[in-house]
Each structure stands twice: as structure tokens, then as C-alpha cells.
Amino acid sequence: MKIIFVTGGVLSGIGKGIAAASIGALLAASDQRVYCQKFDGYLNVDPGTMNPTQHGEVFVTADGAETDLDIGHYERFLDTDMNRFSSFTSGRLYEELIARERRGDFLGGTVQIVPHLTDLVQEKIKTGYETANADVSIIEIGGTVGDMENEYLLESARQLQHRLGRDNVIFVHVVLLPFLGASKEFKSKPIQHSVRTLMGYGISPDFLVVRSDEIVPEEMLAKIASKSGLQRDDIIAAPTLDSIYKVPLSFATQGVSTKILEKMGLDVVKPNMAKWEQLVTHIENSTDILTIGMVGKYTDLEDAYYSVNEGLRCAGFAHSKKVKLQFIDAEDIEKSGTTILENLDGICIPGGFGTRGTEGMIETARYARENRIPYLGICLGSQIMAIEYARNVLGIADASSEEFTPAGVHNIIHIMEHQKGLTSKGGNMRLGSYECIIRPGSLAERVYGAGSPPEKGELEGVTQKGIHSNVTPPNLPFSGEGQKESLIVTERHRHRFEFDPTYREAMEASGFIVSATSPDGSLAEIVELRDHPYMIATQAHPELISRPSRPHPLFIGLVRAMIEKR
């Protein structure tokens, strides 16, 4: 086993996840099979029930795990899928440990943090490594060195290095170098204290990633190395860049992958950074601005929609456009009307839960429909689009969702059958990857395409080769259309509610089209408007499979529609 632990010091939220993902990207570009895991100290079993404005988005893996948003960084930077072994919390580990004790697995012994919990952590690291058939695993330990809740994780890492040896287990410590504006100087003392704290756990860092908002002078980097007991080559400068997608190239310029491969006794292969260079070229050439209104309920924290934000931005880069995201609290629209939407090029309503802000979202969907503004709805945004249409086109004034009005008469959005009667809230939604069948001749079919070459000026692969297959399903759910092959696409989901099919006939008769369903035809997965340039919504979460060099077709379609509208 070859393991890289990534720890953080001085402050949290300084970019450990980006640093870990960038190191992984370099190693992957050097022909290494890389797997990533993150261990968090909080006692929630997973982030699924946590407030997005406190924790950020919940990233769902293909196998249905609700994980930390850093798992999204790993998937996007490494361009590979993670799994349920990629994200562990103290709550999940304690839950399993106590369950084992209740089964009698410890033969009456006294169960303790050391060795039982620390052994379990190492077991999960080994399982993830072997399941992925990895050459190298990168393990991010959440929080900051010195946090009480993470001490057992550091002890687990120390033990693993002791067992496997320093050639097989190394430590990368990500630290903040503060700059004092008043005296106009950097202060390295917090880094020195952080390194000493880490060493107090029996861990000596092999590399320091020095985060800063300014370019750090060479003499300061040399000082940090000296005070930390490291060589200058072991210090990786990580100034704030205007795009996170420039970080792998910055690390490559500093020879990070070569240093790590040499230290771990692996074959040194120069990383092939052509994909990253092409992406950065598109980013730097993207000057024309497109403004998308992100109308939601968690807009106080942009990280609540992190993957959606990145999917839209990268779709813009694919067309050499800079996507500017304007975050709009849906409750503000309820209070002040839709004037704030007037100068937008496009609108996106992302996922969410509960009733707060939904009337503002419905007004937003109405505005997009009536003014022919390109619109993309995601999960809740799909349900909002259906409710608005039912109210204002079909005249069902009390159209709503069972989530908002449980006793409502015309709930065109209802809870799925297998969700009825559930009382617990954790980990039991419709989660993970599911296939759906695209309706022939629909906007959805045109958007997903059939693997056609990218148009001039687009990144290679933006047409999503590999996301869909062109096959004929055994029981096509669209009557009278069985003579034409249909696309089957795989999307990730996280929801309890769905469009009620009893309203489908009336909706479709007036132009609201169900353009993709589950293979058995029972669930509406994508909906669209027939007489609108681009008003489409999905019950899925396309942001979860969007990649920087391969933006999701629905994001690409939204950007194209905005360009054409201009």
C-alpha cells in the first residue's frame, strides 16, 4: 500500500480538498491509479441531514453514498468515480464499532478508541485501497490539527505509517501563511506552531503546502522549510489563483509529482498535463460574460451548490464564455417580485428541501417561461417547473407538492411509493445512479446527443461520450415510438418526491413534455416545454457527473441557449 495523508493546520477551509485533488490529478497524469478518501470528525453518520448553509453541498456517489463536498473535488480533478468507501465520519465509524460490540465481535473485551477505533480506520483505508485496485490512496483528514475530535484519526495515521514504513506512508500538511496588511509582512509563526502540534502526535510532515493570498518571497519559503525541519524542495507554494483548475499546473511546475513518486519509491513518470493546459487556455480566453441567476434557498453559502456552480462555469469555458453566477434568495422574489431577474441571460433553480422560498421559485419559473429565458431546473427545480405550469397554464390554482401541502387536493408532485411510511431521515432517499430513457425527437435527445464531435471552439469530449449509450430498451415507455432507437442515460439522484403521472396526459396535451422516464416508465426523469427555446428540468443531479473537461450536456445546452438568445 502507498498512502498519502493530507492534513490541515492554522485554519480550516484553506483548501485541503483542492490540494489533495490536485496532487491526485498529478499522480493520475503520471500513470498512477489514484483513490481518495476523506475522514471527518463530526458525529453525524453522513452529511445527508446537515444544513447546506453550514456544511456545504452533499455530494452523492454513483453507489448512493451521501458524502462530503470534497469527494466532488476528487471526482472532478481525477475524472473518476469515488464510492461509499471514500467518505467516513466519526459517527459512521462509531456506529459500526458499537454494532460490532453488540454482536459480540470483541469476545467480551473492553472496547476502546485505541486500538479498536484506530484499527477500524486503518481497515477502512485498506478496504478502499483494495476495492479501487489503487496504486496510491490519498487520505484527507478533515478539520485542523489540534482539533479534539480528530485526534484518533491522526493516531490511526501514525500507526499506519509505523506499520507500513515511511517509504509507503507520507504526510502532506496544508497550512496558511498570514499576511499582515498593516506591517506588510508575512508571519510564519502560526505555521511553526502547527507543525509542532502535528509532531506532537508523532507525525513529521514530508511536505508543506503553503497557502497564501499573495505570492510568497523565496526567502520566506526557505525560512519556513528551516523552521519546520524540511528541505526547501519540500515546500509547495500555493498562492490563491483566479481558478482552482490552475492549481494542478502550478503544482506540476514545482515538480510535486516527481518529488512524491521519488519519496515513495514509485516509477517517476512526467505527468501529462495536456488536458489541464487546454482547460486553462479556455479559461483564460473566456472573457465574454454570461449571467445566470441561481435562484435557491441556500444562497448565503455558495458551497451549498458547489458542483452546480462548477458545472455551469465549465460549460461556459467550453464555449469560451465566462459564466457569472448571481445568487438570488427565492424569498427575496416573494417579497420584491421578479425585477431582479430582468438582466439575466439564463436561470437555474437547483435542488433543495422544504417549503421555504418555493413560491419565489414558482414565480421565477413563470418569469422564465413567459419571457422565454433559458431555464434549467435541477431536482426541486424540476418539480417547481411542473407546479408553475399546472397553476398558470392548466389553471390548477392550488397545484402544489405533497412536500409543501401534505393534505393538498392537487399535489402534482407526490412522495414515491417506497418512501411512504419511512420515519427516519438518514440515507433512505432515492440515492445514486439510475438509468433513464430519453424520448425520441425531444429537446432532451438533442441536448444529450449521440456522441457527435464537438463544435469548433469547444473542449474535446464535451458531448459526454461515455455518459450515454445508444440502445433500444425492451419496453420503451413512449407509446408509438418503439421503432426508433432511444438513448439510455445514467444520472445520479437524491430525492423522495416525483411528478404524479396521473397529471401527465393533461400536461403533455398543452405542451409540457415528459422527455425521459425510468426504464419502466413510472417515473418522470426529465421534463421540458415544447414551445420554449430552452426550458428543461431533470429530477436528477447532473452536476454530480459533470467534469471540467466534459461538462454535462444539460449545462452545455443552457449555455448554448443563452448564447443563441443573445
Residues 236 and 292 in one domain: no
| Residue 529 scores a pLDDT above 50 | yes
Please check whether residues 193 and 299 belong to one and the same domain. no
Residue 484 confidence class, pLDDT cut points 50, 70, 90: low
Whether 525 and 536 have beta carbons less than 8 Å apart is answered as no
For 330-379, list the strands marked E by DSSP: 346-349, 375-378
Catalytic site includes residue 379? yes
Whether 18 and 161 share a structural domain: yes
Residue 155 in this model has a pLDDT that exceeds 50: yes
Share of the chain above pLDDT 90, in %: 86
Q: Is the pLDDT of residue 458 over 90?
A: no
106 falls within a domain:
yes
Per-residue pLDDT tens digits for 292-336: 999 999 999 999 999 999 999 999 999 999 999 999 999 999 999
Please tell me whether residues 227 and 331 are part of one structural domain: no
Judge whether 75 lies within some domain: no
Among 238, 257, 279, where does a domain finish?
279
Quick one: pLDDT at residue 558?
A: 98
pLDDT tens track for 11-47? 888 999 999 999 999 999 999 999 999 999 999 999 9
Of 351 and 466, the one with more pLDDT? 351
Closest CA to 311 of 559, 538, 21: 559
Mean pLDDT of 151-161: 98
Greatest alpha-carbon span in the chain: 75
Collapsing DSSP states into helix, strand and coil, what is residue 36? strand
Domain of residue 338, residue span: 285-565
Q: Is 543 a catalytic residue?
A: yes
**Residue 341 belongs to domain with CATH number:** 3.40.50.880
pLDDT digits (tens, 9 = 90+) for 258-269: 999 999 999 999
pLDDT band per the 50, 70, 90 thresholds, residue 513: very high
Tell me the pLDDT of the chain averaged across its residues. Answer: 92
Q: Which range has highest mean pLDDT (170-174, 423-427, 473-477)?
A: 170-174
Is residue 211 within 8 A of residue 177, CB to CB? The reply is: yes
Is a pLDDT exceeding 70 seen at residue 459? Answer: no
pLDDT in the model for residue 422: 73
Of 279, 308, 339, which marks where a domain is finished?
279
For residues 380 and 417, state if they share a domain. Answer: yes
Q: Report yes or no on 58 lying in a domain.
A: no
Q: What does DSSP assign to residue 143?
A: S
Could you tell me the three cell numbers for 36? 481518495
Name the band, by pLDDT with cuts 50, 70 and 90, for residue 468: very low
Does residue 491 surpass a pLDDT of 80? Answer: yes
398 shares a domain with 261: no
Q: Is the pLDDT of residue 343 over 60?
A: yes
The set of residues, in sequence order, having a beta carbon less than 8 Å from that of 384 and lying 6+ positions away, is 349, 358, 361, 362, 364, 365, 377, 537
Q: Is residue 181 part of a domain?
A: yes
Average pLDDT of the segment spanning 399-405: 93
Q: Say whether pLDDT at 557 is over 90.
A: yes
Check residues 481 and 118 and name the one with the higher pLDDT. Answer: 118
Cβ-contact 82, 129 below 8 angstroms:
no
User: Do 238 and 316 share a structural domain?
Assistant: no
Residue 307 sits in the same domain as residue 398: yes
Considering the domain boundaries, does residue 47 fall inside one? Answer: no
Q: Answer yes or no: is 57 within a domain.
A: no
Closest to 67 (Cα-Cα) out of 494, 539, 378, 495: 494
More confident residue, 462 or 164: 164
If you average pLDDT over residues 70-77, what whole number do you get? 98
Examine residue 172 and state whether it is found in any structural domain, yes or no: yes
Question: 57, 445, 528, 543: which one is catalytic?
Answer: 543
Q: What is the pLDDT of residue 429?
A: 86
pLDDT exceeds cutoff 60 at 469:
no
Same domain, 352 and 317: yes
- pLDDT at 366 exceeding the cut of 60: yes
Question: Could you tell me if 228 and 307 lie in one domain?
Answer: no
> 538-559: b or e for each residue (b if 16 or more CB lie within 10 Å)?
bbbbbbbbbbbbbbbbbbbbbb
Is 289 found in the same domain as 273?
Answer: no
- 73 belongs to the catalytic site: no
Catalytic entry in 55, 468, 541, 552: 541
CA–centroid distance for 385 within its chain: 24
CATH of the domain at 120: 3.40.50.300
Mean predicted confidence (pLDDT) in 115-136 = 97
DSSP 547: B
Task: Collapse the DSSP code of 487 into the 3-class scheme (helix H, G, I; strand E, B; otherwise coil) and give the result.
Answer: strand
Q: Which residues contact 316 (CB under 8 A, 6 or more apart)?
A: 286, 290, 322, 323, 559
Q: Per-residue pLDDT averaged across 97-115, rounded?
A: 94
Mean pLDDT of the region 111-125: 98
**Which cell numbers hold the place of 340?**
431582479
Asked whether the predicted pLDDT for residue 545 surpasses 80, the reply is: yes
68 inside domain: no
Same domain, 496 and 511: yes
Last residue of a domain, one of 227, 244, 279: 279
Residue 226 is placed in which grid cell?
528551516
What is the C-alpha separation between 276 and 405, in angstroms, rounded?
A: 48
Q: What is the pLDDT of residues 187-216, one digit of tens each?
A: 999 999 999 999 999 999 999 999 999 999
User: Is-contact 122 2, C-beta < 8 A?
Assistant: no
The active-site residue out of 36, 314, 348, 379 is: 379
Taking a C-beta distance cutoff of 8 angstroms, is the pair 361, 334 a contact?
Answer: no
Q: Which amino acid is at 438?
A: I
Tell me: pLDDT of 566 over 90: no
8 Å CB contact between 7 and 173: yes
Please give the average per-residue pLDDT across 94-109, as a whole number: 94
- The tally of domains found in the chain comes to 2
* Residue tagged 421540458 (cell numbers): 528
Task: Return d(Cα 349, Cα 431) in angstroms, integer.
Answer: 20
Q: Tell me, what amino acid is at 15? A: G
